[in-house]
Structure 1
Amino acid sequence: MSGPVPDLADARPAPLLRVAEPTLAATMPTAMLLVDYALAWKAMPTPELQALAEQVPADIVEESWPVRAALAHGAVLRAVLLHHLPAEHAGHTDWPSLRRWIAEWPDEFVLGLIDWGVDSVMHYGKPPRDPAPTAARITFLSAPSPAMRRDAAEVLRAWNVPNAAERANELLDATTFRSALLNLLDVIWDGWLDRVWRESLDAMRTAVASTPSPPPGCGGAQWISMVTGLRPDEQYAAAAEAATELVVMPSPGLGRSLSLFADQTTWVLFTPHREPPWWSTTTPSSGRSAGTTVRTNGGERTGISVGRLAALAPTMHALGDRTRLAITLHLLDNGPLTMQQLADTLEVHQSTISRQVTALRRAGMVTVQDDRRIAVDRDAIRQTCQTLLTALD
């Protein structure tokens, strides 16, 4: 007899959930990604990373433009290292060993890496392909592919690289590309990661060793919370629930943010926090399996995704100017006003008001109505403030 619940329903295998030892194969390119974000003045999980970006020599910044573009900030390099660095290689924990391994890549592999990176950037945000390309299968190329030659300049233009057509040639030369990549990674290691890696490696290994097995019926988002002590935001939670294999791995420099990426396996990076304690076992209750570990110090902390945090940068930059802040606060208090009304009230020349309103419009904080009055976007400000408050919880 049929009821409100169907007799048969489609199901999928339970996800494979695990925690992995920290590795420079993930940490080094993640640091590269964050440095590239910082160079674009996007918000950082920790102030140290912004300071590191400011220390990168100008010639290295200039030299690495095409590399950072073709490797999608560093995301492409991260996928390649995780797939190709041998499991027992010393480079997982030792930068000189990892550096030598990268330096010894054959030119054919480097060209294949660039080809895969350019293709990944060109297809970013487009419908997924079947089968999806993966870093696990880099094609060795004896010469740049026609797609590389066609798309290299377009990728650099999308990254706002000056002289994109001319500098695209740097993506067609394996030696130039490899040298620029290693120079940038050396700066990251010497300027920050060497010290942080040594200081945090024992704590990260302890975090892995102390993680219990996932309880029966554990989902991806719950697994992230159990291991990290952070609750993933909505986008990350949805991706975690859809994963067939989810690996959580400690990595320094992320603060209270999480970094999620997928290439066959879905990976989530987090930075362990020593205080308050991570684990406490509760008495089994409705909705929880025996042995489930939860936070017991006043509630969960939310893991803000790195991408969500970086998206705050336009708003934060807009509010960082005294005149723009004054305009925003006055509009919040008084509602939509004309340029002349703002100029009269704030005692600022109208040309200055016009220039600053343009900057606020570009940041998505104000709009110009049909009657030419300026209106503040309360939702944009509210979302920024709420994200910051969530990160502080």
Structure 2
Amino acid sequence: MRHFSFARQPILNRSLELHAYEFLYRPIEDEKQQTHSLTAEVIASSALDLGLQKAANNHFVFINISYEDLFSPLIEALPSEQVILELLEDIQPDASLIERAQELSEKGFTFALDDFVYSPKWDPLIELASIIKFDLTLTSIEVNKALIEKLQPCAIQFLAEKIETFDDFNAYKQIGCELFQGYFFSRPELIKGRTVSASTFAIIQLLAHVNQVDISMSELESTIEKDPNLTHMLLKYLNSASFSFKNPIERIKQAIVILGIDETKKWATLISLRSIPSKPLELIKHALVRAKLAENIAVKNDKAHPNSYFLMGLLSTLDALLDMTMKEAVKPLPLKSEIIDALVEQKGEMGEVLKIIIKHEQQLHWPIGDNYSNDYLKACQWADDASSSI
């Protein structure tokens, strides 16, 4: 079996809550031919090796399916209650395919039609489909609005993908889309004249104090204890199943002694970011995946200070959390210049790691021969666990 890189892209609802993930795969080897066996092998790998439910954190999973793959017996090994079979746009809906789709539908499988552009030949599959996906780069909002109105009597959800801005999100929400896919949620919503709220400003100040380079143990303890919510949440998290310490941790000083200053700063920063209001949990989870993966890459490559790579990844969505440019977001924070260069301009060794991670998220590129796919999966699972504990 070939080796694959794996990434998951979140699909959010109108309230920016997680609805599902789309699983994306690419062969790591530099192969000239990619046949339909790619998905067949991936299906087996997902169900058995990756652990589908763990990788999806028990949410729905969209998996791209070609014409040939639809007839593979491996399809029926997947959990029909969790998997949504996404029929690719280049599929020809002939009689055999429609019959097979009907058979799988009767066995409990759900279908989505990918990159949908209407043609009468799709009518039999529209009757079977539960979700229709619009690619914003292929069809206009006017065309998509007309189709939504035409199919309103059908029990179909509409999903807008390649949503890159909040303007697109709001526009497609207005015409009736229920689901949204794209990285708009991880980008700042820049609105001229908007000021930072008092609560968010307090969090920025807290981040600045916690992340002082030469902060002492007593100063860190005092800074954390001045914020009752941070104190409560940090102790709650450290006493959760994520750590399983032999004895309960009851004081911040005790936590710092056990974890060390750098680890305590890491978790205090995470909990502070989680406290920023009106932001989807998936954005924090997105930052956590980046943080853990950056740390793992640093360790694998014998980089100095893996904790700094973790912090860089954790802060890589700070612009979106604060709805300001990254340059403005990091300005009040006493960060190392290497972290600032990575966050603002993706420069230096840390910046290169961040570039790799972002390209992998979007399945644009993954360095040939550098198989971090397992590290990415572990980072996803770790982020799911961590975000559910805070």
- TM-score, normalised to structure 2, is 0.26
Structure number, greater radius of gyration? 1
- TM-score, normalised to structure 1, is 0.26
